[in-house]
Chains A and B, each alone.
Chain A
């Protein structure tokens, strides 16, 4: 590797555009948002101004955000994301296993089938789910065809969780696949040869060795779930808001941007906390690298 001092011109030519873009269109906007989260709407001539703020004047936004109704939304986001993550893990682990142990001819095709929906637009997929779930939707038509009782899941909690699993399942499959694929199968043979049962082998050998993949998968599903608002907005409706919906609402209809900014930062801190826990966990576990 070259020292940057020896090729200053090349170094700065290569570094400047990306750094510039990150500074101006990521760091500066985030800085604006940070300042706004400590601001309040200015009072001009006795009326609350729409455009002006008293910058760095208050922490009430954070105090308000800690109020029970918004903590509920954060708690709900954490809980539902956790449920969606667990469901994805329970589905994806056996699937990734099946892909890894299928014949080499089928392996890429099966993997592709599992991750292909990831490439399709999130809104199109959510829209497709609405058409399946709504009252006259395909699910009820199918149930009616078999003379089964109709369900009304759209705009319920189960619809949101199903939607989250539907959207983020590929993120769970990929890291699991890459760890299980690298797993040395002779460990499993050794365990089975030495008399351990299949479940015992799974719990004592397979799972601990594939733990890094499990952790990566959990992170890749949990974090986007936590910040999602589209799924809960379109499939859950107003009674099933998560923290993301509250942020959107504050920047939209409720039009209290400083409060929305504070909520955004709370969501970001929650995200960074999850990443921090992950860093701690991966430092301790020793398995196949994801």
Chain B
């Protein structure tokens, strides 16, 4: 119907209303101007926030700044470990929930959603208390890197794997169980069926869920802040302390690096998940 009218004239052509376009542009400005200026000023010669010329100095300085470098490598190591474990745990839980009926299943599903709905700060302080009371906070202090980050990794797995389970489960809905039966009829064991039939089918959701866990872990400040000891500073925790004391363009440079890493992970996740979407009911 809209095709016969002039573009932008149809009663349902809300997308071409001028006021909506202006609003859209203003919101995009609101969302992106701060980030764009943060990135732009990572290339600034001066540290006062007034543009004085283009340089890569801040990146070089941030790279040689031990505190920033170790915070960034801690963050990446934590994200890497948390991603692997969260993906495995999340996929296993999703498989169990998809395949079996068992008593108290609905309450169990609600229970799994708890880390998603409970305020981060509550989970953070609960873990801080748990680690300090069980002695885990001090025990890991002198362990070799990255084992000294184990408390943070454990915390990140705890809040990431339910998200992975959600992603994997939505993929499993589209699985044809006859494939599994066929595999077993042809003599495959439970394990062979799993590795040769189910895992390949799940692969897109495993990658997407894993990348989700990766960004969740890189993103987290609150829970990390409470569950980290003084020697295990992550990048967000480092920015937090620097924002409270000194602001230097080196933070801008390191932030830009982290933004690029996260956005790359997001784009890969979207590319991989895109073909899976139409199969969802």
How many positions in chain B have a CB within 8 Å of any CB in the partner chain? Answer: 82
Any chain A CB within 8 A of the CB of B203? Answer: no
Residue of A3, A10, A22, A117 with highest tally of chain B CB at under 10 A? A22
**CA A95 to CA B23, docked complex, whole Å:** 8
Contact: B243 with A22, CB < 8 Å? no
Contact: B34 with A261, CB < 8 Å? no
Q: Is the interface of A mostly helix, strand, loop or mixed?
A: helix
B71–chain A nearest beta-carbon distance, Å: 11
Contact: A244 with B121, CB < 8 Å? yes
Q: Which 4 A-B pairs have the closest CB atoms?
A: A227-B119, A18-B93, A29-B130, A102-B15
14 contacts between A and B (CB under 8 A): A1-B99, A29-B127, A91-B27, A94-B20, A98-B20, A102-B15, A114-B27, A116-B266, A121-B221, A127-B38, A166-B30, A192-B11, A227-B121, A271-B119
Contact of B243 among A17, A234, A248 (CB under 8 A): A234
Interface string of A77-111 (1 = CB under 8 A from B): 00000000000000100110111111100100010
Other 6 A-B pairs with CB < 8 A, given A22-B111, A112-B270: A25-B155, A94-B20, A117-B32, A120-B35, A125-B35, A127-B239
Q: Known contacts A120-B259, A227-B120, A227-B121; is A17 also within 8 Å of B34 by CB?
A: no
How many positions in chain A have a CB within 8 Å of any CB in the partner chain? Answer: 86
Any chain A CB within 8 A of the CB of B218? Answer: yes
Interface string of A1-35 (1 = CB under 8 A from B): 11110010011011101110110011011101100
Residues of B within 8 A of A257 (CB): 125, 129
Contact: A114 with B157, CB < 8 Å? no
**CA A275 to CA B1, docked complex, whole Å:** 42
Contact of A123 among B101, B129, B239 (CB under 8 A): B239
B54-62, B84-92, B139-147: which lies at the A interface? B84-92
Any chain A CB within 8 A of the CB of B161? Answer: yes
Residue of A18, A131, A244, A248 with highest tally of chain B CB at under 10 A? A18
A40-48, A68-76, A132-140, A207-215: which lies at the B interface? A132-140
Residues of B within 8 A of A21 (CB): 89, 157-158, 161
Any chain B CB within 8 A of the CB of A226? Answer: yes
Any chain B CB within 8 A of the CB of A38? Answer: no
Residues of B within 8 A of A234 (CB): 240, 243
Residues of A within 8 A of B215 (CB): 119
Q: Which residue of B lies closest to A15 (CB)?
A: B96
Any chain A CB within 8 A of the CB of B190? Answer: yes
| A133-168 interface (Cβ within 8 A of B) | 134, 136-138, 141, 166
Q: Known contacts A14-B93, A188-B12; is A129 also within 8 Å of B129 by CB?
A: no
Contact: A32 with B129, CB < 8 Å? yes
Interface string of B89-110 (1 = CB under 8 A from A): 1101101100111100000000
Contact: B119 with A268, CB < 8 Å? yes
Q: Which residue of A lies closest to B212 (CB)?
A: A119
Q: Known contacts A18-B165, A137-B49; is A264 also within 8 Å of B93 by CB?
A: no
Interface string of B44-76 (1 = CB under 8 A from A): 000011100000000000000000000000000
Q: Known contacts A123-B221, A189-B12; is A271 also within 8 Å of B117 by CB?
A: yes
Q: Known contacts A18-B90, A119-B266, A198-B11; is A268 also within 8 Å of B24 by CB?
A: no
Q: Which residue of B lies closest to A268 (CB)?
A: B122
Contact: A121 with B259, CB < 8 Å? yes
**CA A110 to CA B38, docked complex, whole Å:** 22
Any chain A CB within 8 A of the CB of B192? Answer: no
Q: Known contacts A121-B218, A251-B128; is A14 also within 8 Å of B92 by CB?
A: yes
Contact: A260 with B125, CB < 8 Å? yes
**CA A10 to CA B180, docked complex, whole Å:** 14
B47–chain A nearest beta-carbon distance, Å: 11
Any chain B CB within 8 A of the CB of A113? Answer: yes
Contact of A131 among B34, B118, B222 (CB under 8 A): B34
A207–chain B nearest beta-carbon distance, Å: 14
Contact: B90 with A29, CB < 8 Å? no
Any chain A CB within 8 A of the CB of B114? Answer: yes
Q: Which residue of A lies closest to B93 (CB)?
A: A18
Contact: A261 with B125, CB < 8 Å? yes
Contact: B114 with A7, CB < 8 Å? no
Q: Which residue of A lies closest to B39 (CB)?
A: A128
Residues of B within 8 A of A122 (CB): 219, 221, 236
